[in-house]
Amino acid sequence: MEGFCEQVVKVKKGSKHVVMCLLLIGAFLVPIVFLMALFYRGAMAGVVDYFYALFALVLAMIGAFVIWACIPRILKVEYDYSVYGSDFIVAKVTAQSSRKRKLKMEIKYVERLAKLSDEDIPKNKYVKKYDFTGNHDVSEIYFAEFRLPQKGLCLLLFVPNEKILEGMRPYLNRDIALKLFYKRK
């Protein structure tokens, strides 16, 4: 395969991921504790009603399954950047099991490509903004302005390595390549 390179960028876990996991656990834990308190109160009064305990047990089993299935999908997310010929493809990989293509564009449509710290993002109005940075530092992030024929002007934020940039270089506009690779301004 000529002109193929690939990079996997893991999403760094932040406070948003922790809060989502805690909310998911709390959504099942609070009703279970409430149902067990009702069962205990009835048992202390001498009226034994096993409905609350059975319902709490079923809810705990369902909650354990949902937590087991959902938390890896929240915490294990990666972006896969691929340069295949003149196409740049980004896919989102969740829990190393499901893969969904998020973006496919031809590199020739890129109008600007630079490191985010080198130039500020222009104040243009974008039809679509793609953020595939994975919560990385601002010093590592690149931005690309590109025009999709069916949508219009779009913005891409991503964290490429040298291999991806070298794979994109033959298909980039000459001015962009000179500015990016040879630091000529």
pLDDT band at 122 (very low <50, low <70, confident <90, very high): low
**62 plus 83 within the same structural domain:** no
How would residue 82 be classed by pLDDT, with cut points 50, 70 and 90?
very high
Placement of tokens 């490191």 in the chain: 115
Statement to judge: residues 69 and 91 lie in one domain: no
Q: What number is the average pLDDT over the span 136-154?
A: 85
- Residue 130 belongs to domain spanning: 4-9+77-181
Contact 92, 77 (CB under 8 A): yes
- 83 lies in the same domain as 67: no
Question: Dihedrals φ, ψ of 78, to 5°?
Answer: -135, 155
Taking every pair of C-alpha atoms in the chain, what is the biggest distance, in angstroms?
85
Higher pLDDT, 132 or 74: 132
Which of the listed ranges 10-19, 37-46, 104-113, 135-144 does the model predict with the highest average pLDDT? 104-113
Query: What is the C-alpha to C-alpha distance for residues 72 and 98, in angstroms, rounded to an integer?
Result: 12
User: In this structure, are 35 and 107 located in the same domain?
Assistant: no
Q: Are residues 157 and 66 in the same domain?
A: no
Q: Which amino acid is at 107?
A: I
pLDDT band at 2 (very low <50, low <70, confident <90, very high): low
Q: Are residues 71 and 87 in the same domain?
A: no
Tally the domains of the chain: 2
Domain boundary among 29, 60, 75: 75
Same domain, 71 and 82: no
User: Do 133 and 176 belong together in one domain?
Assistant: yes
Looking at the structure, tell me whether residues 42 and 124 fall in a common domain.
no
The C-alpha atoms of residue 71 and residue 23 are separated, in whole angstroms, by 11
* Shared-domain flag, residues 46 and 101: no
Check residue 119 and give its pLDDT: 60
Which band of pLDDT confidence, cut at 50, 70 and 90, is reported for residue 1?
Answer: very low
Amino acid, res. 97: S
Does the predicted model carry a pTM greater than 0.75?
A: no
Residues 102 and 22 in one domain: no
Distance in angstroms (rounded) separating the CA atoms of residues 114 and 165: 11
